[in-house]
Structure 1
Amino acid sequence: MGIVQRQGLRNTVISYIGLALGFVSTALVLPNFLAPQQLGVTATLASVATLYAQIAAFGFASVGIRFFPYFRHPESGHRGFLPLLVGVPLLGFAVVTALYFLGKPVLLPWYGQDAPLLAPYYTWGAVLALFTMLYSVQDAYLKALYHTAFSSFVQDVLQRVLIIAGALLFGFGFLSFPNYVLWFVGVNGTITLLLTAYVATIGELHWRPTRQVLTVRPLRELLGMGAFTLLGSLSGSIIMFIDTLMVGAQVSVAAAGIYAVAGYISTALAIPARSLNKIAFPLLADYWKQQDLPRMADFYRRATRLNTLLGCYLALGIGLNLDFIYSLMRNTSYAEGTVVVLLLLGSKLFDGITGVNALIVITSPRYRYDLIFNVSLALLTVALNWLLIPRLGMVGAAVAACVAQVSINVARTWFVWHSYRMQPFTWRIPLILGIAAAAGGAAWLLPALSSPFLTMLLRSTVLTILYGGIILLTNSAPEATGVLQKISRRFIP
C-alpha cells in the first residue's frame, strides 16, 4: 500500500480542500446567485458533454491505463503511446460531432417548452464535450504514470474556484447569464490546457508518433478493448447522468437544477473512493500483469474498509445536517431536493462499501463481463427513470439511481468472488456499520436548537466524538489507528 498511501494522501488532501470549495459553491454561491432554471441549463450541458465525450473517446481512457504497463519505456517516449491515446478519441469526436449537429432537430424537442432555454447553448455543448474528452484522456495518461495529484488539484480545486468566481461575477452583474455559460465552458478548457502543460513539464509530452506503437500490442486488441470499455463506461455514465437529463425533459429544467444541487451535496460522499481509485486503477493493472492475486486481495479488503470508514462518517454528517445546508440557500425551492440527497447518499455509500470491484473486473482478463453488468443496469436505469419520474418527479430519478447502483455492485462483488475467490468483507465491516448506526442515531435524537447552525454544530460534535472514539477503542479500522498515532507522535511531545 506504500505508493497508494503516498499518492492517496495527496489526492485526499486536495479532494477535501475541493470538498470545502464544493460546499461553498453548492450551498453558498450557485443557489444564491443562479435560479434553479439557470442551474438546470449548466447541469444539462455538463451531462450532455460527459456522455458525448465518452462516446467520442471510444473507451481509450481506460485502455490507456489497462495497457500502458506494456508500453512503458521512457527512453523511447513510451513507444509512441500518447499520440495513439489521443488520436483515436479525436477521430471519434469528429464523427460524433457530425451526428450531434445533424440530430439537433430531434434532440431539442425532448425538452418541450424549455427547449428555447437550451437552444442558444447547443454549439457550446460540443465545445464542452471536446474539453471533457481531452481532459479525461490526459488524466488517464497521468494515472498510468502514477502522477495524479496535479489533475486532482485542477479538477477539485482550481475548477471550483473559477466556477465560484464566474458565479460571483454573474451575481454582481459583471456577466450576463449567456456569458456565465461561456465562462463555465472556458473553465473546462483552461484546466484541460493546464493538464497538457503539466504533462510537458514532467517530460512526458511525447507527441511524435512511431510505428513501434503498433507492435507492442495489436491495434485490433486495443480497439476491441476500447469498444467494450466504451459500452461499459457509457453505461456507467448513463447511470450517473441520465437522471439529470430525464428530470429536465420529463419535469422541467428548473427541477433538473434542484436535482443537480442535491447531487452536488451527495457527491462529497464519493470523494474518498474517487481519491483512492485514481491510483488503484494502474496498480491493479500491474497486479494482473504480475498475476499477484494475494496482494490484490489484500488491497481489495483494505480499500473497502477505508471507504466504509470514511463513507459512513460523511453520509451521517451530511444527512444529519441537511436542514443547515439548505438554510444557507436563499431560494427555498432548492430544499425540495432533501429526499433526493438522502437516497443518493445511500447509493454512494453502498458503492464505497463494495470496494474497488469495478476496477478489479475492468482490469482483469474477464473485463468483457463488466459490459454485461453495465449495459443491463444502464437499461434498467433508463427504464426506471421513464417509469418513476412521471409519478414521483425528481425523487423517482433518485430511486432509480439507488436501485441501479446497489444492483450493479452486488453483481460485480459476486462476480469477483465467483471468478477469483476474492471478496472485500471481514468482521470489521459490520462492526463499522454498527458503530456508525449507533453514533448517527445518538446524534439524530438530539433536540433541534433555535439555530440551524448550533444544531449542526451539536450533532456534528457528538457524531465525531462517538464515531471516532468507538472506532479507535475497538480498533475496527487499523489504518485509522495508525494515522492517528503518527499525528500524535508528530504534534504531541
Structure 2
Amino acid sequence: MGIVVNQSIKNTIITYIGFAIGAANTLFMYPHFLGDKFYGLTSYLLSSANVIFPLMAFGVHNTLVKFFSEHKSEQEQVSFLSFVLLLPMLAIVPIFILGFCFYDAIAAFSATKNDIVYDYIWQIPIIGICMAYFEIFYAWVKVHLQSVYGNFLKEVGLRILISIFLFGVYFNVISVEQFITATMIAYLISMLLMFGYANNVKKIVFSFKIPRNAKAIFTYSAFIILSGSVANMLIDIDKTMLNQYLEIEKIAYYSVAGFMATVIAVPSRAMHQITYPITAKLMTQGKHEELNDLYKKTSITLQIVGGLVFVGILVNLNQVYLLLPGNYKEGVFVVFVLGFSKYFDLILGNNNAIIFNSKYYRAVLFLGLLLGFFAITLNAIFIPLYYIKGAAIATLISITLYSIAKLLFVVLRMKLFPFTVNTIHAFVIGLVCFFLFYFWDFSFHPIVNIGLKSVLVSLVYVGLVYKANLSPEINTVIEKQLKRVIR
C-alpha cells in the first residue's frame, strides 16, 4: 500500500485544493458574476458533455489500464496505444455527422423549455471530445504509476482557467456569452497539456500494426462504453433532464447543491487514480487474498475520510447558504440526499475497478443499462412532481440500486467482501459527530462559524477514529502528522 498511500495523499491534497477553487467558483463567482440563467446554462452544457464523453472515448481509457500489463515489449505497447487512440473515432465521426445533419432538430428539442440553450448545443460534443482524450492520455500516465500531474490538471488547472475567465466577466473583459465559449476552450487547453505530459512520461509513437489481442480489446471497449455511459448518466442525467422540465435557473440551484455533495467523493477520486492499475495487476496475477485485503482497506479508508467530509458539510450547511443568494436555499434537501448517495458509494472501496477488470464485466454492464433506463424514468416521474428535490430523490434511488447490484455481484460471484465490524463503528462515529454539531452555531459571521465548527468537528471525529483504531493506515498517517507538529 506504500505507493497507494503516497500518491493517494498527494492526489487527495491536490483534489481538495481544486475543490477549494471550485467552491469559490461555484458558491460565489458563478452565482454573482454570471447570474442564475448563465450559470444554469453552463451546468447544463458540462453535464450533457459528461454524459456523452464515455461514448466519445469509446471506453478506451479503461481498456488501456486493463490490457497494458499484457503487452511486455516496447513494440507491443506502441501498437496497443496506437490502436486504442484510434478506436474513439468509431464513435466521434458518426456523432459529428449526425450532429451536423440534424443540428436544428436536436437544438430545438433541447431548447423546448429554455430558448437560451439553442445557440450553444454545438459545444457539447466538442467538450465531450476534450474530456475523452484527456482521460485517455491520463490513463497512459496512470499505467506508468504517474497519476499526480494529471490529477493536478484535472482538479486544479482546469478550475484556475475557469476562475480566470470568471474574473474576465467581472471586469468586463469578456461577456457572459463569451464565457460559455471560453469554458469550452479551457477543456481544450487541459486536454492538450495532458497530451504533452503523457508524451513526456512515455513517448507516444504511432504504429499501424494491429495488436495480437485486438478482438479482446475492441470487445472490452464496447462493453465499457455502456458502463461508462451508465455511470456518467447516473451522475449527470438529472441536470440534463432538469432542462426539459424546469427553468434553467433551477439547474444553477441544483448544481450548487450537487457540488457540495460531490466534495464527499473527492477521497474516492484521488485514491482510484492509483488503485485502479494496481487492482488490474493483482487480478491479472490471480492474487485473490491481496485483492481482498486491498478491497477492505480502500473501503474503510474511504468511509472514514469521506465520512469526515460529509459530516463537515452537513453541520455547516445552513451557514454556507447564508453566503448565497436566497433562491439557492432550495438546494438544502438536495445536499442531504445526494450526499448520502455519495457516502454509500464511497464505502464500496475499489469495487468498480474490480468489476471492470474481471471476466464478469459484461453481465454487470447489461445490468447498468437497465438501471440507466430506470434513472431516466425516475427523473421523468419525480422532477415534474417535486422539482429539484425530485431529481435528487431519483438520483439517490438509481445510484443506490446500482451500487448494491455491483456489490452483490462482487460478493457472490468473486467471493470478495469490503466490510468489517469497523464499517459499523465508522458509521456510528459519523452519526455522533453529526448530532453533536448540527443543531447549534456560533453567533459570528458565517465564514468564521464554518471555520470554527470545521476545526471542532475534525478534532472530535479524528480523535474518535484514532482511539477506535479503525484503520492502521490512517492511524499511521495521524501519528506522522502529530510528530511533525510536535517537532
TM-score range, shorter chain: over 0.9
CA deviations 1:368-415 (Å, max 9, x no partner) are 122133112111110100000000001111111111111111111111
Partner in structure 1 of residue 109 of structure 2: 110
Secondary structure at the residue paired with 1:28? Answer: helix
* In 2, Cα distance between equivalents of 1:103 and 1:263: 32
How far apart are 1:365 and its partner, in Å? 1.4
Q: Which moved more, 1:455-464 or 1:5-14?
A: 455-464
Do structure 1's residue 84 and structure 2's residue 79 form an aligned pair?
no
CA RMSD of aligned residues (A): 1.7
How far apart are 1:91 and its partner, in Å? 3.5
Q: Is the 8 A contact 1:108 1:119 kept in 2?
A: yes
Q: Unaligned regions of 5+ residues in structure 1, if any?
A: none
CA deviations 1:431-467 (Å, max 9, x no partner) are 0111111111111233553543344344323322221
Partner in structure 2 of residue 259 of structure 1: 254
Q: Is the 8 A contact 1:247 1:389 kept in 2?
A: yes
* In 2, Cα distance between equivalents of 1:400 and 1:338: 16
Letter in 2 for 1:299: L
Do structure 1's residue 475 and structure 2's residue 473 form an aligned pair?
no
CA deviations 1:293-327 (Å, max 9, x no partner) are 10000000000001100111111111111222222
Letter in 2 for 1:245: T
CA deviations 1:172-228 (Å, max 9, x no partner) are 2111122111110111011111011111222x13222142x422x1x2211111111
Partner in structure 2 of residue 199 of structure 1: 198
Secondary structure at the residue paired with 1:214? Answer: coil
Aligned residue runs from structure 1 range 68-147, under 5 A: 68-73=68-73, 75-76=74-75, 78-112=77-111, 114-147=113-146
Letter in 2 for 1:51: V
Q: Is the 8 A contact 2:43 2:252 kept in 1?
A: yes
Letter in 1 for 2:27: A
Partner in structure 1 of residue 334 of structure 2: 340
Q: Is the 8 A contact 2:78 2:204 kept in 1?
A: no
TM-score (norm 2): 0.96
How far apart are 1:478 and its partner, in Å? 1.9
Secondary structure at the residue paired with 2:211? Answer: helix
* In 1, Cα distance between equivalents of 2:368 and 2:107: 27
Q: Which moved more, 1:221-230 or 1:445-454?
A: 445-454
Partner in structure 2 of residue 238 of structure 1: 233
Partner in structure 1 of residue 373 of structure 2: 379
CA deviations 1:213-244 (Å, max 9, x no partner) are 422x1x22111111111111111111111100
Letter in 1 for 2:60: F
Partner in structure 1 of residue 450 of structure 2: 456
How far apart are 1:112 and its partner, in Å? 4.7
Partner in structure 1 of residue 42 of structure 2: 42
* In 2, Cα distance between equivalents of 1:394 and 1:110: 21
How far apart are 1:148 and its partner, in Å? 0.9
Secondary structure at the residue paired with 1:147? Answer: coil
How far apart are 1:253 and its partner, in Å? 1.4
1:413 to 1:52, Cα distance in 2 relative to 1, 3 A: closer
How far apart are 1:251 and its partner, in Å? 0.9
Do structure 1's residue 18 and structure 2's residue 18 form an aligned pair?
yes
Q: Is the 8 A contact 2:235 2:395 kept in 1?
A: yes
Partner in structure 1 of residue 220 of structure 2: 225
* In 2, Cα distance between equivalents of 1:445 and 1:390: 32
Letter in 2 for 1:279: I
Secondary structure at the residue paired with 1:71? Answer: coil
* Aligned with residue 211 of structure 2, among 210, 214, 222: 214
* In 1, Cα distance between equivalents of 2:47 and 2:98: 17
1:461 to 1:53, Cα distance in 2 relative to 1, 3 A: closer
Secondary structure at the residue paired with 2:70? Answer: helix
* In 1, Cα distance between equivalents of 2:423 and 2:115: 50
CA deviations 1:330-363 (Å, max 9, x no partner) are x322222111111110100000012221221111
Q: Which moved more, 1:338-347 or 1:369-378?
A: 369-378
Do structure 1's residue 172 and structure 2's residue 171 form an aligned pair?
yes
* In 2, Cα distance between equivalents of 1:373 and 1:400: 17
How far apart are 1:153 and its partner, in Å? 0.5
CA deviations 1:82-136 (Å, max 9, x no partner) are 2212111134211111122333333333345544312222222232222112112
* In 2, Cα distance between equivalents of 1:83 and 1:76: 11
Q: Which moved more, 1:6-15 or 1:304-313?
A: 6-15
Q: Is the 8 A contact 1:170 1:180 kept in 2?
A: yes
Q: Is the 8 A contact 1:138 1:196 kept in 2?
A: yes
Secondary structure at the residue paired with 2:122? Answer: helix
* In 1, Cα distance between equivalents of 2:384 and 2:160: 36
Q: Which moved more, 1:262-271 or 1:112-121?
A: 112-121
* In 2, Cα distance between equivalents of 1:439 and 1:314: 11
Partner in structure 1 of residue 276 of structure 2: 281
Q: Is the 8 A contact 1:79 1:210 kept in 2?
A: no
* Aligned with residue 312 of structure 1, among 277, 293, 307: 307
* In 1, Cα distance between equivalents of 2:194 and 2:76: 18
Secondary structure at the residue paired with 2:184? Answer: helix
Q: Is the 8 A contact 2:78 2:205 kept in 1?
A: no
* In 2, Cα distance between equivalents of 1:466 and 1:53: 41
Partner in structure 1 of residue 432 of structure 2: 438
* In 1, Cα distance between equivalents of 2:41 and 2:137: 27
How far apart are 1:489 and its partner, in Å? 3.0
- Percent sequence identity is 25
* In 2, Cα distance between equivalents of 1:375 and 1:113: 27
Letter in 2 for 1:155: K
Q: Which moved more, 1:140-149 or 1:337-346?
A: 140-149
* In 2, Cα distance between equivalents of 1:172 and 1:91: 43
Q: Which moved more, 1:116-125 or 1:17-26?
A: 116-125
1:268 to 1:121, Cα distance in 2 relative to 1, 3 A: same
> 4+ residue stretches of structure 1 with deviation over 6 A?
none
Q: Is the 8 A contact 2:316 2:438 kept in 1?
A: no
TM-score (norm 1): 0.95
1:163 to 1:60, Cα distance in 2 relative to 1, 3 A: same
Secondary structure at the residue paired with 1:81? Answer: helix
CA deviations 1:125-164 (Å, max 9, x no partner) are 2322221121121122222221111110011111111101
Q: Is the 8 A contact 1:14 1:157 kept in 2?
A: yes
Q: Which moved more, 1:40-49 or 1:442-451?
A: 442-451
Partner in structure 2 of residue 364 of structure 1: 358
Q: Is the 8 A contact 2:8 2:274 kept in 1?
A: yes
Q: Is the 8 A contact 1:169 1:175 kept in 2?
A: yes
